[in-house]
Amino acid sequence: MRQSALATSILFLLLVSCGESPKKEKGKVQENITNTDTVPKTELDSTAMEEEEEEEPFKLTEENAIDFFFNYSKKLKKDKVKITTTMGSFTVQLYDNVPYHKANFIYLTRQKYFDSTQFHRVVKDFIIQGGNSDDRRTARKRGDIGRYLLPPDGNKGHKHHRGTISMPSSERDNPHKLASPYEFFIVVTNPGSYHLDGSYTPFGRVIEGMDVVDAINNVRVGDGDWPWQNIYILKAEVL
């Protein structure tokens, strides 16, 4: 009986000892899982926060426009833009030695700014002027691209011959006649409008489709030289 009781006691102690060990080990494993789970969660949250903090879209300003177009012009290898209107198409070739204005026109073309704008000013036997619209989309596009002006560059030997594409001055308080980058005008006067030389910047010429330019110049206009029929630029594309 004593031997049986002793054996029973030993067996009880062994069972108790074996039952405690897994509990302690289980606690250690659970602690590791918790700590391991905490680290990637923090890292994931950090990554998600970085993704949520999106960079603001680039906008041109008075401060960065010149540097931007200086660098942009260095990469340009193309110099022709085709403009398709509701009255037909014409093509302009841009001058290489007027780099800021050339770069500006190509940049705006690639940004699809001119698409859906209009020839909003037509002066008989003088000019047609495009790049503006009374559509709110045009104002939004200008806001997205930025607010800036370009310095005049009329001393490169280019004159306002018939077919010349040039850039008008801004309507803002502008004693230096800084150019309004979003608009352009094309001379239709034969042989030219040379009184404009020195005051505005010729930056290219029409090389194909001058008959379309003449047709636009012949439409009826109302107050402010705005055409009675809307003449839209359907598409401008770099060739």
* DSSP3 helix / strand / coil % (the chain, rounded to 5): 40, 25, 35
In the prediction, which pLDDT does 33 show?
A: 26
The CATH number corresponding to 65-238 among 2.40.100.10, 3.50.50.60, 2.40.50.1020, 3.40.140.10 equals: 2.40.100.10
Q: Which phi and psi angles does 45 have, rounded to 5°?
A: -60, -40
Identify the band that residue 56 occupies on the pLDDT scale cut at 50, 70 and 90. confident
* Token pair 């107050």 in the structure block, residue: 223
Cβ(236)–Cβ(81) below 8 Å? yes
**Average pLDDT taken over every residue of the chain:** 83
> Which residue in 138, 128, 74, 135 sits closest to 106, CA to CA?
74
- Would you state the structure tokens that stand for residue 95, as one six-digit string? 């001058």
Sign of the Cα pseudo-torsion (109, 123, 86, 143, in order): positive
**What residue spans define the domains of the chain?**
1-54, 65-238
The model's pLDDT over 211-221, given as tens digits with 9 standing for 90+, comes to 999 999 999 99
- Which range is least confidently modeled, 10-14, 74-78, 215-219? 10-14
- For residue 18, the one-letter residue type is C
d(CA 145, CA 174): 21
pTM: 0.76
3-class DSSP state for residue 118?
strand
In the prediction, which pLDDT does 172 show?
A: 66
